């Protein structure tokens, strides 16, 4: 099985390579793809070195799966060309997420929607992924009416330029090439992606629309405020949920503790609750600070944290690939 990683030298792409190795994904050939300035370099994967090729060379090799993490414009230009040679594209950009002909997938939530006809599969927004992981099992139990979410998103969600901006400010007090519209160190910026005509940002709109699509229920009302914080890895979310049905807190905790991919950390008396440092380098979605919203009937507050480069991006994409292989939606090729 030939696996291409498009954008292999970027933050998410390099994390994809790391996770493919950690999870021992059944590949026989790795095809790292990057821009012209990286072509010819070698990437070490396990005990072998693989040359970086350009995107046209990558298509010519005819990979079975291509993990895309090179931005929306690259995905729009090239994903269909990979699909045309029989490759399944799992795309980490926003290019295909709201296309009604494309599946938007978190395997633990809606992996069952995948079929052999899906040649371009969208990986959701990082903040949406970790939120729906918690919402979905609770929705099945108590039926969600409305969600209010405020995010605290790491600079790694902006890519290397966001990381560089923060590090330069911490070292020198300012950045020679600022990426954000305001200082980020010792600050928070309530502005992720571009502002739309209704005053919401594109990031906030993604969370609203993607949640409904992934969970297959457009009656779930979502409102979001997304905020960039001076954290190096891991997105956090304060989530307020209103259910149609009454619930018991112990029942909520038991449901979450028994859900695949979720780590419950909720013992405030011992100061045990999720933080970005706790989630960093892990593939789980962490949840804690679970308590009633006493201002309304059937209201719940919780705090959700995940490593945005892993479950929020690379791990989820690879889990989609694993689901395709495990369920024989893509057949492994036998090495003779």
The catalytic position among 87, 126, 139, 165 is 126
Per-residue pLDDT of the chain (336 residues; tens, 9 = 90+): 999 999 999 999 999 999 999 999 999 999 999 998 899 899 999 999 999 999 999 999 999 999 999 999 999 999 999 999 999 999 999 999 999 999 999 999 999 999 999 999 999 999 999 999 999 999 999 999 999 999 999 999 999 999 999 999 999 999 988 999 999 999 999 999 999 999 999 999 999 999 999 999 999 999 999 999 999 989 999 999 999 999 999 999 999 999 999 999 999 999 999 999 999 999 999 999 999 999 999 999 999 999 999 999 999 999 999 999 999 998 654 333
Which residue carries 């395709």 as its tokens?
324
Q: How far apart are CA 273 and CA 286, in angstroms?
A: 8
pLDDT value of residue 330 = 83
Read off the tokens for 64: 């079975």
Return the closest-CA partner of residue 237 out of 249, 255, 246, 224. 224
Active-site residue 126, yes or no?
A: yes
* Residue carrying the six token digits 């002909």: 101
235 is catalytic: yes
Closest CA to 70 of 41, 91, 42, 48: 91
CA 113 to chain centre: 18
Q: Where are the alpha helices (DSSP H) in 99-232?
A: 107-110, 126-142, 160-172, 202-215
- CATH H superfamily, domain 2-124+313-326: NAD(P)-binding Rossmann-like Domain (3.40.50.720)
Inter-helix orientation angle 126-142/249-257, to 10°: 130
pTM: 0.96
Contact (Cβ atoms closer than 8 angstroms) between residue 237 and residue 274: no
Whose structure tokens read 């926003």?
A: 94
| Domain ranges for the chain | 2-124+313-326, 127-308
Structure-block tokens of residue 3? 């696996």
- With vertex at residue 325, the alpha carbon angle to CA 83 and CA 100, rounded to the nearest 5 degrees, is 45
CATH assignment, 127-308: 3.30.360.10
Catalytic residue among 139, 165, 235, 302: 235
């Amino acid at each position: 099985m030939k696996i291409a990683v498009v954008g292999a030298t970027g933050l998410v792409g390099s994390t994809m390579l790391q996770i493919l190795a950690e999870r021992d994904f059944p590949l026989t050939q790795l095809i790292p793809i990057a821009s012209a300035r990286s072509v010819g370099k070698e990437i070490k994967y396990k005990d072998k070195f693989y040359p970086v090729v350009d995107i046209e060379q990558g298509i010519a090799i005819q990979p079975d799966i291509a993990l895309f993490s090179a931005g929306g414009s690259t995905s729009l230009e090239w994903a269909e060309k990979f699909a045309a040679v029989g490759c399944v594209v799992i795309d980490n950009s926003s290019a295909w997420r709201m296309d009604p002909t494309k599946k938007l997938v978190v395997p633990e939530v809606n992996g069952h929607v995948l079929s052999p006809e899906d040649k371009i599969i969208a990986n959701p927004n990082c903040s949406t992924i970790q939120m729906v992981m918690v919402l979905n099992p609770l929705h099945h139990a108590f039926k969600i009416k409305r969600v209010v979410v405020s995010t605290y998103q790491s600079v790694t969600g902006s890519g290397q330029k966001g990381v560089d901006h923060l590090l330069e400010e911490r070292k020198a007090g300012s950045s020679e090439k600022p990426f954000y519209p305001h200082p980020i160190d010792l600050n928070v910026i309530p502005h992720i992606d571009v502002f739309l005509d209704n005053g919401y940002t594109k990031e906030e709109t993604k969370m609203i629309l993607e949640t409904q699509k992934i969970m297959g229920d457009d009656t779930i009302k979502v409102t979001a405020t997304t905020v960039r914080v001076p954290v190096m890895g891991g997105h956090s979310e304060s989530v307020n949920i209103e259910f149609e049905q009454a619930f018991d807190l112990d029942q909520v905790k038991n449901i979450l503790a028994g859900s695949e991919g979720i780590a419950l950390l909720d013992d405030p008396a011992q100061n045990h609750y999720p933080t970005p440092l706790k989630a960093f380098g892990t593939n789980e979605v962490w949840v804690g600070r679970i308590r009633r919203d006493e201002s309304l009937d059937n209201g719940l507050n919780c705090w959700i944290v995940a490593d945005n480069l892993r479950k929020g991006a690379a791990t989820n994409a690879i889990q989609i690939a694993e689901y395709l292989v495990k369920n024989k939606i893509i057949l492994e090729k036998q090495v003779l």
